[in-house]
Amino acid sequence: MKPKSLIPHDRGIFCPKCGAGTYVYDSRPIADGIRRRRLCSKCQFVFVTWEIMCSVPPIPKDELKRVTEMLRDIADQIENELK
Ligand SMILES: [Zn+2]
C-alpha cells in the first residue's frame, strides 16, 4: 500500500509499535470529528485514529493535586520495586 502523499502531522501522535513519529496519508470527516490513516516514519506500521471533538469541564485544583500526588506515589512504588 503506497500512499499518494505524506503529510507530516502534529508530533503528538507516535507509532504504537515503535514510538517513532507518524505521517498522515488519508483524512476523512466523520460525525463530530475526523478519521486519519497514519504511517509510522520508522517501521512503516499503519494505523487509524478517530479524533472526536468533545468539551471537558476544568478539573478543580484540589482534585488535580490529589491525583498528581497519587501518581507520584505509584511511580515511587514502581521505582522501588525495580531497585
Ligand atoms: Zn513504528
- Is 47 domain-assigned? yes
Distance 83 CA to ligand 1 centre (A): 30
Q: What distances in angstroms separate CA 11 from CA 8, 27, 40, 60, one per listed residue?
A: 8, 16, 12, 29
Distance 4 CA to ligand 1 centre (A): 19
- pLDDT score for 8: 65
- The number of folded domains in the chain is 1
- pLDDT score for 9: 61
Mean pLDDT by 10 residues, the chain (83 residues): 59 87 90 91 93 88 94 94 90
- Is 21 domain-assigned? yes
- pLDDT score for 56: 84
Q: What is the pTM of this model?
A: 0.56
The 22-30 sheet, strands edge to edge: 7-8, 22-30, 33-40, 46-52
Distance 12 CA to ligand 1 centre (A): 14
Distance 58 CA to ligand 1 centre (A): 34
Task: Provide the domain limits for residue 30.
Answer: 7-82
Q: What is the pLDDT of residues 5-19, one digit of tens each?
A: 666 665 678 999 999
- Is 1 domain-assigned? no
- Is 2 domain-assigned? no
DSSP 21: B
